[in-house]
Amino acid sequence: MKTIEEKRAISIIIVGLILVVVVGFCSLFLGRYSISPGEVIEILINKILGISQKSMATNVVWNIRLPRLLMNIIVGAGLACSGAAFQGIFQNRLVSPDILGVSNGAGFGACLAMLLGKGIPLGITGMAFLGGMISVFLTYTISKMKKDNSTLSLVLSGIVVASFFSALISLVKLVADTDSVLPSITYWLMGSFASATFKKVLFAGVPVVIGVLILLLMRWKVNVLSMGDDEAYTLGINPAKNRLIIIIAATFITAACVTVTGIIGWIGMVMPNICREYVSADNKILLPASCVLGALFMIVVDLIARGISAAEIPIGILTAIVGAPIFVLICFKKEGGLQ
């Protein structure tokens, strides 16, 4: 027997999924280069059937807008899902997916790659991914130096590592060539979907899909871990082990997202809170809901980012401009909001 609340939550998720498809389809024909919806369908069908076509419209839809849409979905769902899981295991609603320093680590990796130029073996994406993983590894190792293995020491060492890498980013910016390298570093750090390709979709897609699947499988454990370590232990799970699995999965997701799009803030923190308020606090429902609504939010915001002016607005700026007021409206409206 399902309660009314659960039925409501499930219908919100289903409506969200339908909206992802509808808005996603719209994003294929909306834009500076105008294409009719009929044309888009034709292009997609022809591509799937393997009929070759060499029009400008085909190129725009298939090589530019479709990978961009897929990236929106992957990154939106990934960041929102890992944000929800992190908020659960750290028992705090203000936690974002990069609490353990992954964004700044990845940012530093990317900046370093841009500074050093073409000679870097892994390229910008590779270096960014590596930087993200190393920073979280550092955070985890430092937190282990304290014996009690608490979430607080993890968060504290995350802050330390994040600000350390943030300083390193500033250092790279300081020595970077102000005409060529510095602008590209600055733009990278603001985040963008403009350079989306199928190669990048694959690069981010594999870790994000695997990571999200693991988080979804572990979502009941997130509930139990959110009661604190001692209670989680008495309820029958090993807090340290389960938390580590969730941290690894969420880190893979976030590192992969940051790597292909640059730093996109807010979505990973705001979407879970919106879902918690309007869908369900139970992570069994919250995690899937965050995935769907995170993807939807990202598609819409990216549509605005590339549609609002001739020059594209970096997505990181828009998620904050759109996200911050929404967050305030939602979280401070109901019953005094954040407790």
Q: How far is the CB of 286 from another protein (least distance, A)?
A: 9
224 lines the binding site for another protein (CB under 8 A): yes
Write the binding mask 56 to 95 for another protein: x where contact by CB under 8 A, - elsewhere: --------------------------------x--xxx--
Q: How far is the CB of 227 from another protein (least distance, A)?
A: 7
Stretch that binds another protein, among 25-33, 44-52, 73-81, 218-226 (CB under 8 A): 218-226
Nearer to another protein, 19 or 227 (CB): 227
Alpha carbon distance 258, 128 (integer Å): 8
Binding residue count for another protein, defined by CB under 8 A? 30
Alpha carbon distance 292, 218 (integer Å): 17
Q: How many CB atoms lie within 10 A of CB 213?
A: 12
Q: CB-based contacts of 73: which residues, under 8 Å, 6+ apart?
A: 20, 24, 295, 298, 299
Identify the residue among 22, 45, 202, 235 touching another protein (CB under 8 A). Answer: 235
Q: How far is the CB of 229 from another protein (least distance, A)?
A: 8
Q: Are 154 and 225 in contact (CB under 8 A)?
A: no
Stretch that binds another protein, among 7-15, 40-48, 74-82, 224-232 (CB under 8 A): 224-232
243 lines the binding site for another protein (CB under 8 A): no
Touching another protein, residues 254-313 (CB under 8 A): 276, 281-282, 284
Identify the residue among 218, 247, 263, 289 touching another protein (CB under 8 A). Answer: 218
Per-residue burial over 267-283, b = 16 or more CB atoms within 10 Å of its CB, e = otherwise = bbbbbbbbbbeebbebb
Alpha carbon distance 267, 298 (integer Å): 8
Alpha carbon distance 121, 127 (integer Å): 9
Structure tokens of 213? 């699947």
The residue type at 156: L
Among candidate residues 246, 196, 197, the one with its CA nearest the CA of residue 217:
246
Alpha carbon distance 186, 188 (integer Å): 5
Helix axes 198-217, 283-307, angle to 10 degrees: 160
Stretch that binds another protein, among 2-10, 68-76, 290-298, 306-314 (CB under 8 A): 2-10
Alpha carbon distance 180, 206 (integer Å): 32
Identify the residue among 231, 240, 328, 333 touching another protein (CB under 8 A). Answer: 231
From residue 169, alpha-carbon distances to 194, 248, 257 in Å are 22, 24, 19
8 lines the binding site for another protein (CB under 8 A): no
Nearer to another protein, 90 or 129 (CB): 90
209 lines the binding site for another protein (CB under 8 A): no
Among candidate residues 326, 302, 325, the one with its CA nearest the CA of residue 314:
302
Structure tokens of 211? 């990571």
Stretch that binds another protein, among 136-144, 159-167, 217-225, 317-325 (CB under 8 A): 217-225
Nearer to another protein, 173 or 284 (CB): 284
Residue 191's SS3 state is: coil
Q: Are 40 and 69 in contact (CB under 8 A)?
A: no
152 lines the binding site for another protein (CB under 8 A): no
Identify the residue among 1, 48, 49, 56 touching another protein (CB under 8 A). Answer: 1
Nearer to another protein, 32 or 241 (CB): 241
Identify the residue among 3, 52, 178, 309 touching another protein (CB under 8 A). Answer: 3
Which residues are near another protein by CB under 8 A?
Answer: 1, 3-5, 88, 91-93, 217-220, 223-224, 226-227, 230-231, 233-238, 276, 281-282, 284, 335, 339
